[in-house]
Structure 1
Amino acid sequence: MLTIRPYTTSDREGLVDIWLEASRVGHPFLSEQDLREQKVLVRDVYLPKAENWVAVEAGEPLGFIGLLDCFVGGLFVRPSAHGQGVGRVLIEHAASLKGRLEVEVYALNRGALAFYQRLGFTETGRREKDDQGRPLELVRLARPERA
């Protein structure tokens, strides 16, 4: 049975591994060098800074969501668990805590865009470059608080 629990520092390396596996699948347009650089940021900056929730089944972390207030800073699911509802459960957990949710995803990550749209997110804006200044368009999406 899938459960959601708060992040602990002992989760760090396992979640960074999930992030890397999922990023290789969802962000094939990023180079291995880009991923190595981002991995350090995820481990040393983003995980400690965010409110993180971990999806666990049979004691094994399958995915996690990092929240910065109502902004989804990251949602990553182990590729072997894609399509099993892990991401949906994490989003619904975040919505139960925060209400309205916002997220940014790479425009080239069509799977992520479709996932968020299926969950009721709608586009609110775009920007031409990512946080590292690469010419990779980001799409901003939001989902209103549900009554």
Structure 2
Amino acid sequence: MKIVAVDKTEYIEIVNVWEASVRATHEFLTEADIKFFKPKILNEYLQAVENLWCVKNRQEHIIGFVGVADDNIEMLFISPGNRGKGIGKLLTSYAVEQLGANKVDVNEQNTQAVGFYERLGFKVVSRSEVDGLGKPYPLLHMQL
């Protein structure tokens, strides 16, 4: 698998991977939440990360991506059919080793993600009762 930079023309595909991944892993989000976040991902959050990298399949479709700003993994999403194949670990290693990331914020209710990052050496260093927009989704602040 090869990691490549995401082009702005691929943002719609990135958002589609995000939505499929969120629907598979973020059971705590409502349909209204997904509809709220989807345009924010496309129009704000993707531009906010300094580094946006992805893995594509043989047909050149994006199957996972990571976004990093400063030393924080801001987003890591894998398409549901490609979870468990090492793509998340590959992208996280790239973020850490090549992009200097050593922190990540994880929704506390997303226990799969919490366990994933713990297996990669991240530890919880603090907790917030609400997410960055003040929504009632506690965040675990993790660091290597």
So what's the TM-score if we normalise by structure 1?
A: 0.93
Maintained 8 Å contact 1:123/1:141: yes
Aligned length: 142
CA distance in 1, matches of 2:136, 2:15: 25
Is 1:3–1:57's contact at 8 Å kept on the other side of the alignment? no
Q: State the Cα distance separating 1:57 from its structure 2 match.
A: 2.1
1:126 matched residue in structure 2: 127
Q: Which residue identity does 2:32 align to in structure 1?
A: Q
What is the letter of the counterpart of residue 11 of structure 2?
R
Cα offset, 1:138, TM superposition: 0.7
| 1:55 alignment partner in structure 2 | 55
TM-score between both structures, scaled by the size of structure 2 = 0.94
What does residue range 70-85 of structure 1 map to in structure 2 within 5 Å? 70-85=71-86
How far apart in 1 are the matches of 2:134 and 2:141? 16
Query: Unaligned 5+ residue runs, structure 2?
Result: none
SS in 1 for 2:64: strand
Q: Which amino acid aligns with 1:10?
A: T
SS of the residue 2:2 aligns to: strand
CA-atom RMSD, angstroms?
1.0
Alpha-carbon displacement from aligned partner over 1:41-94 (angstroms, at most 9, x marks no partner): 100011112110011121121110010111011000001000000000000111
Q: CA deviation at 1:26?
A: 1.6
In the other structure, the counterpart of 2:21 is 22
SS for the counterpart of 1:98 is: coil
Cα separation, 1, equivalents of 2:97 and 2:56 = 18
Alpha-carbon distance, 1:98 to partner: 3.1
Contact 1:100 1:142 in 2 (8 A): no
Q: Find out whether 1:106 has 2:107 as its counterpart.
A: yes
- Structure 1 gap ranges (5+): none
Between the aligned partners of 2:107 and 2:100, the Cα distance in structure 1 is: 23
Q: Which residue identity is paired with 2:7? A: T
